[in-house]
Amino acid sequence: MIVDIINKKRLGEELTYNEIDKFFNAYLDGNIKDYQMSALLMAICINGMTDEEVFALTKVFIDSGEVLDFDGIIDTMVDKHSTGGIGDKTTLVIAPIVASCGVPVVKMSGRGLGYTGGTIDKLESIKGYRTDLTDEEIIAQIKKIGIVVTGQTADLVPMDKVIYALRDVSGTVSSIPLIASSIMSKKIAGGADKILIDIKVGNGALLTTMEEAEELSRLMIEIGKIYQKEVKTIISDMNTPLGYCIGNALEVEEAMDILRGKEINNNLYDLCIELSTTMVSMGKGISKDEALEEVKNSLNKGRAYQKFLELVKAQGGNIEQLEVSDNILTIKADKNGTINKIDALEFGKLSVALGAGRVEKKDKIDFSVGIRLTKSIGDKVKIGDVLAKIYYHKKIDLPNIDTLFEII
């Protein structure tokens, strides 16, 4: 009985593979109601899962759809995933860097929900850019230019699509077993041989403590072992927005600035170098020092930027048509001092209020709005200095400056 399975998890007992398989597949088939699945998800969120249960859940997720296979097309397929953050446009930067170093990249990304943005929304701010490539188109493009960044196909882990939507509205997004099986099932079904996970920690992330991040890391590495996939993790800060821009077209511009060597001195640049170096090292089986040299070379010689332009063109985009709103408000310092904090969560909320993100899945995004920070942590400021520019269309009440910045 359905209710017996919910009760078993409520009491903190271990579910069998068959129970997990039966329950989740019945939900996918429409034979279990949202409120019953929400009850089970909440019981999982509160009582956790054993490793065996997480392995079972991951398998049920993978088996719910197609599993892509790039054997004979790509020698070693390295994939990367971020658990999500504010201003996280790393994929736009690292995919072209890694591909230009000779490691093919097939990246299937998602949309943003809540305060965290999604790569697919950012790319759709480029007029004409297609994010719905078919399996055949993905294979043709990877053979031709060695890089694809597209949306997840409908058949890739369909179970995750329905469960994630329900988690989002049932307060069960930050469960470590649910995050691990959601992400790992998509990476494994997507055909990755090696996987790099960027686990974000901080007030703008799903996880807020190092202990949680380390537990998620351990669990993902264990799942990888079962499928003979090498998994590496990086734990990175999400108390401060990543880079200067939050909002779709603005983030594409910022990614291009890094690829053109215009911006090389901030948390975004450092993380992009670390992620791409690790991916190149994993993909080519070379040391991180050697990989770093290749990454820097590709950036300095403009190869990574050229690869980005090639990607945009191949997927039908016109990079000249990137629209950023002309309506600009500024946030100015109200005292002299040093910037001690730029609050990721508050900026995430502000970007959603402007229309750059979604509150609900059906919401339409305004690609041209967002925020450009003009100062970083540690910068000295005087009263009246501009700290951030707000690109808007609809009028909103700006939050109090003290919630966004701490100046000491």
Q: Which residues bind ligand URA (CB under 6 A)?
A: 83-84, 178-179, 182-183, 206
Nearer to ligand URA, 117 or 317 (CB): 117
Nearer to ligand URA, 114 or 337 (CB): 114
Residue 201 phi, psi (nearest 5):
-130, 130
Let me know if 182 is a catalytic residue. yes
Q: Is the dihedral of CA 243, 275, 259, 293 positive or negative?
A: positive
**Three-state SS letters, the chain:** CHHHHHHHHHCCCCCCHHHHHHHHHHHHCCCCCHHHHHHHHHHHHHHCCCHHHHHHHHHHHHHCCCCCCCCCCCCCCEEEEECCCCCCCHHHHHHHHHHHCCCCEEEEECCCECCECCHHHHHHCECCCCCCCCHHHHHHHHHHHCEEEEECCCCCCHHHHHHHHHHHHCCCCCCHHHHHHHHHHHHHHCCCCEEEEEEEECCCCCECCHHHHHHHHHHHHHHHHHCCCEEEEEEEECCCCCCCEECHHHHHHHHHHHHCCCCCCCHHHHHHHHHHHHHHHHHHCCCHHHHHHHHHHHHHCCHHHHHHHHHHHHCCCCCCCECCCCCEEEEECCCCEEEEEECHHHHHHHHHHHCCCCCCCCCCCCCCCEEEECCCCCCEECCCCEEEEEECCCCCCCCCHHHHEEEC
Identified catalytic residue from 9, 59, 81, 107: 81
Shortest Cβ 165–ligand URA spacing (Å):
11
Let me know if 260 is a catalytic residue. no
Nearer to ligand URA, 90 or 182 (CB): 182
Nearer to ligand URA, 45 or 133 (CB): 45
Identified catalytic residue from 9, 59, 111, 186: 186
Nearer to ligand URA, 185 or 266 (CB): 185
Shortest Cβ 48–ligand URA spacing (Å):
15
Shortest Cβ 303–ligand URA spacing (Å):
30
| Alpha carbon distances (Å) from 334 to 133, 403, 408 | 49, 13, 11
Shortest Cβ 185–ligand URA spacing (Å):
9
Shortest Cβ 182–ligand URA spacing (Å):
3
Nearer to ligand URA, 186 or 284 (CB): 186
Nearer to ligand URA, 180 or 322 (CB): 180
Using Cβ positions, the residue closest to ligand URA within the complex turns out to be 182
Amino acid at 344: A
Identified catalytic residue from 160, 193, 257, 343: 160
Shortest Cβ 99–ligand URA spacing (Å):
22
Identified catalytic residue from 167, 200, 303, 372: 167
Shortest Cβ 369–ligand URA spacing (Å):
24
Let me know if 81 is a catalytic residue. yes
Let me know if 160 is a catalytic residue. yes
Query: Which residues carry out catalysis?
Result: 81, 160, 167, 182, 186
